[in-house]
Amino acid sequence: MASTSQPAPRTFDELLAELRRRGTSLTPSQRRLADRVMADPEGVAFMTVSELASAVGVNEATVVRFAAGLGLEGYPGLTRLCRQQLREQAQLLHRYHNLEQLTAEGGDPLERAVALDQANIARTFARVPTAAWQEAVSALATSSRVYVMGLRKCHAPAYLMGYLLGMVREEVHTVTGTAGNLADELLRVGPDDCFVAMSIHRYSADTVKALNWAHQRGARCLALTDNPASPLALAADHTFYVDAAGPSVLRSLTAFVSLVQALATGVAQERGLEARSALLQEEELLEQFGVYMPSEG
């Protein structure tokens, strides 16, 4: 990875942008280092050169060259940016550390689950940039069509987002790719549309391919994923990182649901009277078809 005339990253966000920019020009060893830095800046911040080299399976010289190739002042320059990221989230990280201790100490399973989900939600929303949030809500509210896609473990929050958006605006499509129909569902995606993709490690290949297709077609692309090393982050105009830590081997989708509900609420507020009219029409239709049991009394 040769050094370029590009200015050296001064913040962790600039470091992420530079790693994404270099993308396919990285060697396999450099790619593993980049993925580790993007996915785990908290861990890298306090690793020695030898510890990081061992963690990703490269030699120490490769780590040093990797940092220098980014224009940083050697490996200390890389860890400095990672520690800067930690300082910006110090309060939340302290809270999360306490919750991890609670988990490690073998507390009540219900208490551990609640504590972890509280941390997941707090950390997720703390990382949402205000400008990106407003642009994402606007895209969801004003695009000609909205496509939402999440498969396997992310099917539930994707279905919920499609359902909620469908209550306050027209032309919302939940992409499922069932029965080999993925290409048919993506056929009409165009530059006036918004495409939302959700996936966490291990990333669904079809979701990644679909988001890349929507990006190529000029649609405004949003990604809900777990870390900056996610392949969804490469094709998205705006990416929201969702914490999914759970008390066991099963990852939590609670923060996904909270983020989806907040986005849908933002869309309803932006559409104002149009959203209210759509909700009233739906209520009339639900009542006419007797969808719900009648209230007693």
Summarised one tens digit per residue, pLDDT across range 225-245 is: 988 888 898 889 999 999 988
Residue 91 pLDDT greater than 70, yes or no: no
Residue of 15 and 292 predicted with greater confidence: 15
Mean pLDDT of 82-89: 74
Residue 113 pLDDT greater than 90, yes or no: no
What gap in Å lies between CA 40 and CA 45, rounded to an integer?
9
Task: Give me the percent of the chain exceeding a pLDDT of 70.
Answer: 86
Contact of 38 with 16, CB cutoff 8 Å: yes
Give the model confidence (pLDDT) of 260-278 as tens digits: 999 999 999 988 767 667 6
What gap in Å lies between CA 152 and CA 265, rounded to an integer?
25
Q: Is 179 left (phi over 0), alpha (psi -120 to 50) or beta?
A: left
The separation between the first and the last C-alpha atoms of the chain, rounded to the nearest angstrom, is 73
DSSP 294: P
Contact of 103 with 118, CB cutoff 8 Å: no
The predicted structure's pLDDT at residue 90: 54
Least confident of 8-17, 50-59, 109-118, 254-263: 109-118
Transcribe 275-286 into DSSP letters. Answer: HHHHHHHHHHHH
The predicted structure's pLDDT at residue 184: 93
The predicted structure's pLDDT at residue 43: 84
Residue 87 pLDDT greater than 80, yes or no: no
Confidence bin at 41 (pLDDT 50/70/90): confident
Can you say how many angstroms the Cα of residue 241 is from the centroid of all Cα atoms in its chain?
A: 3
Give the model confidence (pLDDT) of 193-229 as tens digits: 999 999 998 899 999 999 999 999 999 999 999 888 8
Is the pTM higher than 0.75? The answer reads: no
* Residue in this structure with the two tokens 């890298």, named with its chain if needed: 44
Give the SS3 label for residue 138. Answer: helix
Mean pLDDT of 141-148: 96
Which is nearest to 37 in space by CA: 25, 24, 20, 50?
20
Contact of 200 with 153, CB cutoff 8 Å: yes
Residue 107 pLDDT greater than 70, yes or no: no
Residue 159 pLDDT greater than 60, yes or no: yes
Beta-strand pair 194-198/238-241: unpaired
Q: Would you call the peptide bond into 169 cis, given omega within 30 degrees of 0 as the criterion?
A: no
* Residue in this structure with the two tokens 């396999």, named with its chain if needed: 28
